Amino acid sequence: MERATYDWRQRAACRDSDPEVFFPITEDVPDSARVAQAKAICASCPVQSECLDFALDNRLDHGVFGGMTAGERRRIMRRRRVGDDHHSPAR
């Protein structure tokens, strides 16, 4: 089995950022200013797609990864499941 590498994290724009920016939950309510700040950092990141893939593959349900909130990633996962169910190739 091939081991996953996460070398891409060393090139991430958020590498030296405060993690609180990417986990903007205050009393179970997202902090929209921090979400916007996190998304702005992600927008210029050279490894944004790798980060998003990591979050989706690992079903991370908190924080901003790859420019998307947990809720946005959940919607992607739901669409993928629906797409798999309805558009799978015939055998």
40: annotated binding-site residue? Answer: no
pLDDT-derived band at 29, boundaries 50, 70, 90: low
8: annotated binding-site residue? Answer: no
List pLDDT tens digits, range 37-53: 999 999 999 999 999 99
Is the entire prediction scored with pTM above 0.85? no
42: annotated binding-site residue? Answer: yes
48: annotated binding-site residue? Answer: no
The pair phi, psi for residue 71, each rounded to 5°, is -65, -40
CA 86 to CA 80: how far, in whole Å? 10
